[in-house]
Structure formats: structure tokens, C-alpha cells
Structure 1
Amino acid sequence: MLNYMEKLPDEIINEFAKRMNCVDDSVRFSAVCKLWQNSMAKIRKEKHIPFGPWLMLSTYNEDQGLQTFYDISREKIVNLPLPHNKVKERRCFGSQFGWLVTIGVDLHIHLLNPLSGIQISLPSQPTFQHQYKIHVEPEDLRHVFMTKFILSSNPSDSDQTCIVIAIHSELRRLSFAKPGDEAWTYIESSYGGYQDAIFFRGQFYAINSKGVLVICEIDAPHPKTIDFAFPPEDIGIFGNRFYLIEMSGELLLIERLFSSPTENASLGDFYYITEAFDIYKFDFHSSSWVDLYDLGDHALFVGDNTSFSISTIDYPEFRRSCIYFTDDHRELFENRFCDMGICDFKEGTIEPIYLGDHVLSMFSRPMFVMPTL
């Protein structure tokens, strides 16, 4: 039967591939043989619209080698095969182009495409500068040392060199590396406390906990940051989170506002609850931030992933002018609460995004991924 399917004309195979609109069907289609896999990859690249965002949940079934995801648009649990040595007990971070970044107890760091299973090595954690001054066990380092990873391009694109920016260490510094490098290269900066970064218009930008925007000069003989913009005048500082997102060619700054730490009397745990978001658009003519009050036909996704936006015209199953968010208070992951939901930006209301199991984890909470073959 398999040989018969492999001999189908390319035109018929391609026509089938064009009709695959959900990820799990596409994965099964690609698994038939190399020819079908190549056809699916070509069609997805030509359409330029990846599958809609999923939540990667905190559950891995070791016996069956399955990682659990939640298809938000179809409100459906999907289990995909992933070898245990690629995700089990590894701290996972969402990044662009459908790739994850993982770090395990062995402190090895990899890029991983959860659909294709392709894995690419990055320099390991001990090659970063600014290690902790006290000894931290590897099982704890995988949890606390790394904050976020940002990619310049798709690692599977042979026409471009993928550069990865990492936010790391106790003071949340910046470093970068490429697949094949032996070590991470530190980016000198007068600041620490970086919370997010973005590859925008051919450059890396980063935002710190004070809302200062910098450019990362990684091509310089001594890589460094250059101050680029002051924070908005009305921005809050203490305890809030900042994210950088590109939306329709514009650079946005998202401020996530939390309630004061709350104690759950029945559990004895402290936790934060997201109350609202403020959003600003950067005006490159005046080099200043401008308040934004409507996201139009777009939705934003923030949390333990590279921040990104989608068009709700291309993805009508997602809600316009809404912010989808996951829990990135990693210092409270040991507590039994997960701050995750959907914020209607215009109305100011917040509701749950997922109410099932598989959300609590000591080192990897749910995160958004854009599945890409």
C-alpha cells in the first residue's frame, strides 16, 4: 500500500497537501514518506501562513513518547510523538518559526521543531559568561538561568544564518550564538534586567525592566547595546512585565500589569494575577512611544515564548484586539496557580484560555508555539 501511494503523481500529492488545514492531519500526511513530507513543506512555505498558535502543555507521556498540546482554535487536545530525550525533564521556551529551545539537566541547549522532530545544537549553558557565584545544581539551573530566546530567522532556512539572542543569568543579561558556535558571546551593556527582545527590520532590539529600549550591535568587534529610546512617560515599573512585538510592520511595547502578590489561604501559596495591559507603538520619526488603544484585526501572544502577533483576518478563529497570555512568573512555578488567559484589550475583560489539566510544572509551564513543518 505504501509503495502504491509513493507512486502517485506529484500533482495529486500536492493537491492533497493543499487541503490539509490542521496540524495533526498534516503531520500524518508528512509521515507517509519523504516525498509526501517534501510536498507538504513546499505547500506550507508557498502559502506563507503557518498553522494557528497552540499551547504546549506541561504533560509528557513517557510510556508512549507523546507531548501534549492544546489546539486553541479547535479547543482540542493533540498528542504528538516526541522522543523522551528531546523534551522530557527539559525546560522549554517558545520561539519563532515553530521552533522550541530546550535545556536539560545535562545543561545542553537545543533548537527543536516539535512537528518534524529536527533538533539543532546550540552552545551549552556553561559557556555563558556571568555564571552564578554560588553553586546551583543542574536541575535548578535549567529552571532559573535562562529567561528567553529570540531567533533572527528560521533555522531550517539555508539561505540565512540563524542568530539566537538569549536573556540569561541572575541579572538578566544578553548574549548571542549561532548553531555551530562553541560558546555564547556576551553583549556588553550598562543595564541588566532585560525582559524581552525582538529581531525587527534587520536588527535586534531589547527592553529592560525600566522600559529602556536598546539596539544590540552584535556585528561590532566588541558586541554591545546602544540606548535607543526612553520608556513612555506614563509607564509603570515595579513588578510589571514588558514585551516587544511586531504588528503589521510596527514595533509595539506591551506592559503587563499585575495585582499585588496574593496568598491562597487554602494552599499557602503566593501568586500574581494579570489585571490589564497597556500598549504603545514606537514612532521612529519622533523616537518616542505613542499610546495604542485598539489592536484592530490582530491578536497578541505573550508569556514564556517569543512574543508575536497574528492577523485575525488570516486566523478568524482567534479574537481580534485581544492579548493571549501565559504564566511567566518562573520564580512562582512551584506554587499551585497558573496565570493564563485572554484579555479583550478594548473592553478590559479577562477570561480563561484553557481550563483543563496539564498546566502546573516546576520548570515548564504552558507556552505558545506556532506549529510549522
Structure 2
Amino acid sequence: MSRHWFSKTNYFVFKATISADPILNANDYIVVVIYEEFCRLAFIRPGKDTTWTYVDERWSLIQEVVPIRDKFYAVDRWGNLLSFDSVDQFKCNVESKADNTEQTSEKKYLVALNEKDLLMVERYTTWDDDSKRETMEFKVFEFSFVKCDWIETNNLGDVAIFVGDNSSIYVVASNDYGCQPNCIYFTHDHYRIRIDFKPWGPNDIGVYNIKTRSISRPFTEDAMTMMKLTNRPPIWIAPTF
């Protein structure tokens, strides 16, 4: 549970999200970051703001933020879904409260499929006696904006989802990306409590098939060796074509 790097930085950011392409919208985009040890939120409008605006500190342990229309949606460690209005100084609303009767997942990710559909991906992991992490399963939920509740789904259709330390993304598998449909591609991402990957390196990497609930590891031995030697979690790079 080494935290030595905390003392060597003035500030640190776990994840950053932008509302629009900064090249195409140079004067009209927002950057939202999950920052500091308690994973709180802050935002800035480059070209308009000179300082960061910090969201109410009561909301912490945020795990993912995504933009949809004029709002940002965030999910916290317990599964509460929050929304922040980007045109109203990030006023916070609780869209859905967590059901604390359910088993708590290790990580939660948000995926915006379009301006209407919002998914939450829950990742369940286990740790062995040697502190080696292993993903056991995923669950996927679609948010009903009418009922203000999550509905579990077992079918993503032709969609493949990618989760990790980068912003969660999706692709249409049939667009010749070489991806399997109805699957979740995952990397060994940051764990807030434990940040040291030694001695195993980032090993918790694979593909989860939602229909069969099985995990495959299609990466070559050389690729896995390279990732472990870096002792840094890999990230996904989205195609721009």
C-alpha cells in the first residue's frame, strides 16, 4: 500500500475528461478531472477560466465522469449516479442512489454510447495471498432516465467496450476493428488503495464475454511480458478513422 509518490507531488489527477474536441471547439469545451487522494471533482473552461472550480467536497471517491449533452455524469465508489449541469456552475443532482444491499464491485466505469444511452460497467475482482489481483466478472447496467434507475443487461449487441485508466470507450465491432462484439476489453488499471504493481506487474488484462461470462487472454506472450516489465498500467488508444 505504498503511497510514497503522494509526497512527491503538489497535485495529482487520476483521470481527465473533456466535453468536446479541443481542436474543433477551442473556445467552447470543459475539462473535468478526478483529483487528489479522495477522488474529488474539479473543472475548468480553457480560454474562459483562469482558475479551477472545485465541486462540493461532500462528493468524493468518484470513479468515472462522462459528458452527455449539457451535463456531466459521475459515478462514485458506492454506485451513486451524480449529474453536474455545465451551464449552472456544476450544480450537483443525485440521479440514482446506490443499492447498498448488493455486493460491492471493485471498480465502476461509465460509458456514454450516444446522447441518450448511458451504461455502467461493474468490475468484480479477487486478491490472492500474494496480493495478485484477478478480475472474476463484469456486470453491465443501462440507466433509465425515465425511472432514474439502473437496469442490468446481458447484451451489448455489436458493441465492444474498453475499460481501464483511460476514459471508457466503445466501438462497433463490425466496423472491422478486429474486436469481438458483446465483450469488455479490460486492462490492469489503478487501484486507489494499492498503487504498486510489484512483483507481478500489470497482469490483470483480458477480454470478458458477457454472454458466456468467460474471460480470455488473447494477447501474445511477448506483449504480456512487455507490459509486466514496464510496471505501469497500459491504456487503450481509440482509432480516429
TM-score (norm 1): 0.56
Counterpart amino acid of 1:348? Answer: R
1:348 correspondence with 2:219: no
Opposite residue 84 of structure 2, the aligned amino acid is C
SS, match of residue 15 in structure 2: strand
Shift of 1:169: 0.7
Matched to 1:346, the amino acid is: K
Q: Is the 8 A contact 2:61 2:77 kept in 1?
A: yes
In structure 2, relative to structure 1, the CA distance for the partners of 1:234 and 1:310 (3 Å cut) is farther
Is 1:305 aligned with 2:170? Answer: no
Partner SS, residue 367 of structure 1: coil
The aligned length equals 228
Larger Rg: 1
Deviations 1:215-265, CA, capped at 9 Å, x for gaps: 1134335x442211123576432x510011023541111110011x2133x
| Pairing partner for 1:334 from 192, 197, 203 | 197
19, 27, 31: which one pairs with 1:164? 31
- Quote the residue 1:322 is aligned against: 183
SS in 1 for 2:227: coil
Query: Any conservation in 2 of the 1:210–1:231 contact (CA below 8 Å)?
Result: yes
Note the C-alpha offset of 1:316. 5.2
Tell whether 2:127 aligns with 1:256.
no
Is the 1:324–1:341 contact (alpha carbons within 8 Å) kept by the matching residues of 2? Answer: yes
Q: Which residue of 2 aligns with 1:179?
A: 46
Residue 191 of structure 1 aligns with an amino acid whose one-letter code is: W
How many Å apart are 1:158 and its aligned residue? 3.4
Cα distance in 1 between the residues matched to 2:44 and 2:139: 32
Pairs within 5 Å for 1:1-373: 136-138=7-9, 145-158=12-25, 161-180=28-47, 181-221=49-89, 223-231=90-98, 235-237=102-104, 240-247=106-113, 249-259=116-126, 261-264=127-130, 270-315=131-176, 317-330=178-191, 331-335=194-198, 336-337=200-201, 338-354=203-219, 355=221, 356=223, 357-360=225-228, 361-362=230-231, 364-372=232-240
Residue identity matched to 2:144: D
Which runs of 5 or more residues in structure 2 are unaligned?
A: none
- Aligned-residue Cα RMSD (Å) equals 2.5
**Is the contact made by 1:271 and 1:332 (CA closer than 8 Å) also made in structure 2?**
no
Q: Which letter maps to 1:300?
A: I
Letter in 1 for 2:207: I
Q: Percent identity?
A: 26
CA distance in 1, matches of 2:141, 2:58: 24
Which residue identity lines up with residue 197 of structure 2 in the other structure?
A: E
Residue-by-residue CA offset, 1:32-83 (whole Å, 9 max, x unaligned): xxxxxxxxxxxxxxxxxxxxxxxxxxxxxxxxxxxxxxxxxxxxxxxxxxxx
Change (3 A) 1:316 1:232: farther
| Deviation at residue 190 of structure 1 after TM alignment | 2.4
Quick one: which amino acid aligns to residue 192 of structure 1?
S
Structure with the higher helix share, 1 or 2: 1
Distance in 2 (alpha carbons) for counterparts of 1:285 and 1:183: 36
Distance 1:310 1:274, change over 3 A: same
Structure 1 residue 189 displacement after superposition = 4.5
CA distance in 1, matches of 2:17, 2:226: 26
Q: Is the 8 A contact 2:70 2:87 kept in 1?
A: no
- Aligned in 2, Cα 1:353/1:152: closer, same or farther, shift over 3 Å? farther
Matching residue's letter, 2:158? D
In structure 1, runs of 5+ residues without a counterpart are 1-131, 265-269
